[in-house]
Amino acid sequence: QVQLVESGGGLVQPGGSLRLSCVASGRTFSNYAMAWFRQAPGMKREFVAAITWISYTTDYSDTVNGRFTISRDNAKKTLYLKMDSLKPEDTAVYYCAAAINSKNYYTDPERYPYWGRGTEVTVSS
């Protein structure tokens, strides 16, 4: 089993920045694709960004592309999401997810068996 714990959420003004972290623990953590998803109240969970294990290839949703940056430190078993130019519509609970896949990533949340509990991000003045 893999355990994921997110941190770094909070209240930020529009235009501000936050950096989320997700630390993995448990069984040997190797060859995992990882991603960030978010879920706003009353909405479905949506894909935000993903990154592969080997090549560090990244992908972003259209709504965050150019504003958010996903990265990872495999030695520290940590996934990051740097969020800049935040907008009120970015308000949501942000979840990190992991799936065994050394070369690719998924944008479908159903493909990820491991999830953190989420960290809340509120963008408001």
With a CB cutoff of 8 Å and minimum separation 6, the contacts of 8 are 18, 19, 20, 21, 119
Going by C-alpha positions, the residue among 87, 111, 124 that lies closest to residue 37 is 111
- pLDDT, one tens digit per residue, over 39-60 is 999 999 999 999 998 888 999 9
Average pLDDT estimate for 111-123: 97
Output the average pLDDT for the chain: 95
Burial-class residue 42 by CB neighbours within 10 Å (0-12, 13-18, 19+).
exposed
